[in-house]
Amino acid sequence: MRSVFPYRVLSSDVTLRVEKISVDNKAKGLDRINDKAQVVALQDLEETNQRWADIRLKVSVRTDGTELSSGPWTLPQCVAVVTNRRTNVYHSFPLDPQDGGVWVGDIELRREEHVGRSQLSASIVATVDGIEGRLIGVSETSWDVDFEAKVPAPERSMKMRWIDFTEHDHLKEYRDDPWLVDSEAGEPVLLLNSSVDGLRGVLETPHGSEQKLVREIMASQVASEAWSAMFNAAVYACDVLDGEPQWPGGWHEDVLRKMIPDLYPDLSPEDALIELVEARTDGENGSDLQRRLMHGSGVHSRKPRKVSTALRDLRRMANRRETT
């Protein structure tokens, strides 16, 4: 879960990108990189029968250079971090600073250390209040380095529709709800209730700093609840054949594979699926799962960061008013 720091951290986003791939010192095409989905596909990389030994990814990290240079910290540094839960690998790679809040560098992936999917993230550390190595920023989302994918599949996005709940019989009982997720027919759809006064204006065309902060908090809450709803639907879509839980396929499987590592970081996806389905069929107390789900949906909606950033900005606004 997101920590609360007793010192100021970056409020601007930290953006991580994979720029190039080389395999055993031979450059590979950029079609293996999907910047939007933040996936690198690394299956069948060898052009001969020889197995690759070393993969290098050239990465860049960017944040707001003005905030970085004006903050209460010194000697900011950036590292790229690679983890693989199945092999218990954790490596960090210092990146080289450039101008304006930019770092670049290479990370190395050795074949014997990575299976399935590895995660790539970035952290910015600095000296704060005389203490070295304090974390002041992390990349918004991690990249998936997929050793079992030939194509970096794009991330599915949920469709959204504005609809007046009071005008539809099947939605009238939810007339006071600002949003719902409809996952009964095909792909899930986020329904936004246009009959809630002011909701559309705040989410689509906020005016002023306060409304923009409200939009950030509300948007993260919408996303968090949507992830939770999709996850619960996906768990109930899993069948059991010959005593073995089966991946449900389609968007249900995409959601499970995306969220499971954050809910069960110490289990493989297959073992986590078994635990999820057993908890569902046995009817045991779901409080542990709900705690995990709240954390996982918060990670994917970026809710903790959005809320903490909004509260910090509100405090700064209040301080400015008091001094004027």
DSSP designation for 260:
H
pLDDT tens per residue across span 214-254: 888 888 888 899 999 999 999 988 888 878 888 888 788 88
Give residues with Cβ within 8 angstroms of 99, minimum separation 6: 65
Tokens of 175: 């007339």
Q: Which residue is associated with the tokens 């995306």?
A: 258
206: alpha, beta or left, given left = phi > 0 and alpha = psi -120 to 50? Answer: beta
Q: What local confidence, expressed as pLDDT, does residue 45 receive?
A: 64
More confident residue, 286 or 210: 210
Q: What local confidence, expressed as pLDDT, does residue 19 receive?
A: 95
Grade residue 23 by pLDDT with cuts at 50, 70 and 90. Answer: confident
Q: What local confidence, expressed as pLDDT, does residue 153 receive?
A: 58
Among residues 149, 159, 67, 53, the alpha carbon closest in space to that of 110 is found at 53
d(Cα 255, Cα 272) in Å, to the nearest integer? 13
d(Cα 45, Cα 161) in Å, to the nearest integer? 41
- Interaxial angle between packed helices 208-236 and 303-323, expressed in degrees from 0 to 180 and rounded to the nearest 10: 170
Contact 101, 125 (CB under 8 A): no
Give residues with Cβ within 8 angstroms of 40, minimum separation 6: 18, 21, 32, 33, 34, 57, 120, 143, 144, 145, 146, 152
Grade residue 47 by pLDDT with cuts at 50, 70 and 90. Answer: very low
In terms of C-beta density within 10 A (0-12 exposed, 13-18 middle, 19 or more buried), how is residue 66 classed?
exposed
pLDDT tens per residue across span 83-133: 887 788 899 999 999 999 999 999 999 888 887 778 899 999 999 999 999
DSSP designation for 116:
S
Q: What is the mean pLDDT of the chain?
A: 85
The percent of residues in the chain predicted with pLDDT above 70, rounded, is 91
Among residues 268, 276, 266, the alpha carbon closest in space to that of 245 is found at 276
Grade residue 49 by pLDDT with cuts at 50, 70 and 90. Answer: very low
pTM: 0.56
pLDDT tens per residue across span 70-96: 999 999 999 999 988 778 889 999 999
